[in-house]
Amino acid sequence: MNICILGSGSWGCAISALLAGKGNNVTVWCFDKLEYEMLSEQHVHKKFLPDVKLPKTIKYTMDTEEAVKDKDVIVIAVPSFAVASTVSGIKNSFNKNQIVVNLAKGFEEKTLSFLSDVIKRELGSDIKLCMLSGPSHAEEVGRKLPTTIVAASENEEVANIVQDVFMCDYFRVYTSNDIIGVELGGALKNVISLCAGVSDGLGYGDNIKAAIMTRGMAEIVRLGEKMGGKRETFFGLTGMGDLIVTCTSMHSRNRRCGILIGNGMPVREAINKIGMVVEGIVTCKSAYKLAEKYGVEMPIVEEAYNVLYGGCDIANSMTNLMLRDKKAEEMD
C-alpha cells in the first residue's frame, strides 16, 4: 500500500519502520526542518530512537500535499494538541476513499472533544477512521519487540483493513468497535501514569503504586461508562494493558515527568527536562473538567489537578487521598 505518516517523532518513526518493513511505500511528513534533514540524510532519529535504523525506502517530505496525495492510508502520529491543525492542513489533498489511522491519545483541550471527533470535524463525519491504541512504547516497537495493540473503528471493514496493514510477527493487532472506550483508556491512563511517577519520586513503595493503578482504573471506568464506553474495554489492552505499561516503564514520559515532580522539580522544568510532549499534564485538566461535567467522582485526578494547576503540596494531596471517607471497594 501507499502510506503517509503525518509526524516524524518517536511513534511516527517506529510505525514507519514497521510499515516499510512489510513492503509498503511509506512517506513521512516532517514538521521540523532539522528533523527532516536528519531523517533524510541519516535514516535515524538520533534524539528519540537512536538505536533504530530506519529503512532507506522511506521517503520524507515537508509538503503535506506531497505526503497525502494518492495514499491509501494516512497515519496521524502527532501530539494530541497538534491533531486539529495537522488534519486541517491536509483538507485540500484528502479524499474520502483514504483510510485515516490516528495514533494520538488525549482530548482537544479547548472543547474537551475526542480526537476522533476532532478529525471528523475537519475531514467529514463519513470518513474511514480508525484509532490505534494499546500498550506500545515506540522504543520497543522500533526494536521489533513483541507488542499487541487494538484497531478501533465504528466501521468493521475499516478495522479489519487496518489490522491487516499493521499486523506482523512482532506487532499483533486486535479489532474493536468501542472507539469511545479505546480513546478514553488511552488518554486517561497518562494522568494515572503521571501520578504513579509522582509516587515513585516521593520515595513511596510498590504498595501505593499498585493502589494508584487500581483505583485509577476505577476512576477511568467510572467516567468511561458515563461517556458511553463499554466496561469490558477498560479491562483490555487499551485500558488496563496501557495503564500497566505506562505506570511501570521508564519509557513512559508521563511516569518520568511524574518522578521529577515528585522529586521537587517545578512542573514546567520537569516537562522541559523530558524533552517530549507529556500528554498527561494537559489531559489531567481535560479529565478534571469532564469529571465535573458528567458528575463523576475522580479523587486521584482531582488531587493531580490541584498539584499541577492549583499549586497544592504533593504530600498533602497524598494525605487527602489516604484520609478520604471510609467506603467499600467499588469499580464503578
**Any bridge partners for residue 131, and if so which?**
102, 152
Q: Is 285 a catalytic residue?
A: no
Buried b (16+ CB within 10 A) or exposed e, 216-228: bbbbbbbbbbebe
Q: With beta carbons less than 8 A apart as the criterion, state whether 226 and 301 touch.
A: no
What is the distance between the alpha carbons of residues 217 and 144, in angstroms, rounded to a whole number? Answer: 29
Q: How far apart are CA 236 and CA 259, in angstroms?
A: 26
Strand partners, 75: 5, 101
Residue in 244, 6, 245, 240 with CA at minimum distance from that of residue 145: 245
CA distance 247 to 190: 8
The answer to whether 96 and 64 are in contact (CB under 8 A) is: no
Q: Which of 71, 189, 209, 285 is catalytic?
A: 189
Catalytic site positions: 189
